[in-house]
Amino acid sequence: MRIGLVGNPRYAGLESALADTVRLAAKNSWALSADPDLATLAPDMLPPLDPNLIDLLVTFGGDGTLLRGARLLRGRDVPILGVNFGRVGFLTSVPRDGAQQALLAFAAGEYRLSPRSALTATVRAPDGTSRGEHLALNDVVLHKGGVARVVRFQVLIDGEPMGPVSADGLVIASPTGSTAYSLSAGGPVVVPTLDAIIVTPICAHSLGVRALVVRADAEIHVEPVDPRPNELLVSFDGQQTATFGPHDVLEVRKATERVVLVRFGEPGFFRTLRDKLQWGDLADRGQ
């Protein structure tokens, strides 16, 4: 088995977990590779991670580390096993002390896969040329980069104007990302295996503007309308950003690639909601 490793060095205990993984791999004749952030922490020099030469990607960190790992795969259909060193860990499925057991279970075929749809976002200049295409598992966010003032957007769904939106920004999320920034902005929780895209205004300046759930194959175009403020940014999974000029257009659609997460045991999305987001009433939480 060929395993790629990605991690966030700022987490305490990562070096020890990495050493344990190296020993377990040697015992089971697994081939390891790692991204540059982990190279200095490994007890032995590991070859650089090549997404074309791995059967499993293991991320050590929080949900942000898993999102970064998904981008490193460059669209390859490689399963991702997330080991949680963070706080909430909504996407990661394994606690830090369960990494070795999870790897043995994966090698034995005792796991299930949870394919997730992702988003592809393109910023186009006024002449139609692309400023770059980005993959996002959670969300694409158009927002102010400077002074916090209202931005007015025109949003089109499959070419039909949704209507101008005055807000602090706009979140376009996948079902997996519905429990991230979109939820904080008032968007709905969407079961991650559903085929859909969520469009959520951030602090909309009208009670008549609410989040929308649209078909997964919808084409979403967004452009600011007059007055056109400067310093607009587009963020992808909250980790990468691109500038957004006064006459640029943001295009978002479902990606042809998917992200595959490793899960163990029975499906438990609603249990995750209860455990991570304290979903439900207070009856079973004590005094």
Q: Assess whether pLDDT exceeds 80 at residue 281.
A: no
Give, for 103, the enclosing helix (H) or strand (E).
helix 99-107
**How far is residue 247's CA from residue 231's CA, in Å, rounded to a whole number?**
12
> Could you tell me the pLDDT band of residue 215, with boundaries at 50, 70 and 90?
very high
Tell whether the model's pLDDT for residue 205 goes beyond 90: no
Q: Do 1 and 109 touch, CB atoms closer than 8 A?
A: no
Q: What is the pLDDT of residues 255-267, one digit of tens each?
A: 998 999 999 876 5
Structural tokens at position 277: 């987001």
Q: Look at residue 204 and tell me whether its pLDDT is greater than 80.
A: yes
Residue 245: strand, helix, or coil: coil
36-76 per-position pLDDT tens digit: 878 777 767 788 999 999 999 999 999 999 999 999 998 78
Residue 230: predicted pLDDT: 65
Asked whether the beta carbons of 115 and 255 are under 8 A apart, the reply is no
CA–CA gap between residue 145 and residue 266 (Å, rounded): 42
Per-residue pLDDT, 206: 82
Q: How sure is the predictor about 21, in pLDDT bands with cuts at 50, 70 and 90?
A: very high
Strand 79-84 and strand 249-263: the pairing is parallel
**pLDDT, mean of residues 269-273:** 73
Sign of CA dihedral 159, 180, 207, 146: negative
- Tell me how long the chain is: 287
Express as a percent the part of the chain with pLDDT over 70: 93
In DSSP notation, 114-183 reads EEEEEEEEEEE-TTS-EEEEEEESSEEEEEESSS---EEEEEEETTEEEEEEEESEEEEE-SGGGGTHHH
Considering only CA atoms, which of 60, 73, 62 is closest in space to residue 255? 73
Residues designated catalytic: 63
Q: What is the pLDDT of residue 104?
A: 96
Phi, psi of 239, deg, nearest 5: -125, -30
Q: In Å, what is the CA distance from 123 to each residue of 130, 151, 181, 223?
A: 6, 17, 20, 10
Average pLDDT, the chain: 87
Give residue 229's pLDDT. 57
Verify cis geometry, omega within 30 degrees of 0, for the bond prior to 227: yes
Percent of the chain with pLDDT over 90: 53
- Domains delineated in the chain: 2-111+264-277 (3.40.50.10330), 118-256 (2.60.200.30)
**CB-based contact 138:180 (threshold 8 Å):** yes
Q: Which tokens go with 11?
A: 């987490």
pLDDT score of 135: 92
Let me know: does 10 contact 63? Beta carbons within 8 Å: no
Position with higher pLDDT, 272 vs 147 = 272
Nearest partner of 210 among 182, 175, 250, judged by Cα: 182
Query: What pLDDT is recorded for position 46?
Result: 87
What's the pLDDT band for 148 if we cut at 50, 70, 90? low
Q: What is the pLDDT of residue 279?
A: 72
Q: What is the DSSP string of 16-28?
A: HHHHHHHHHHHHH
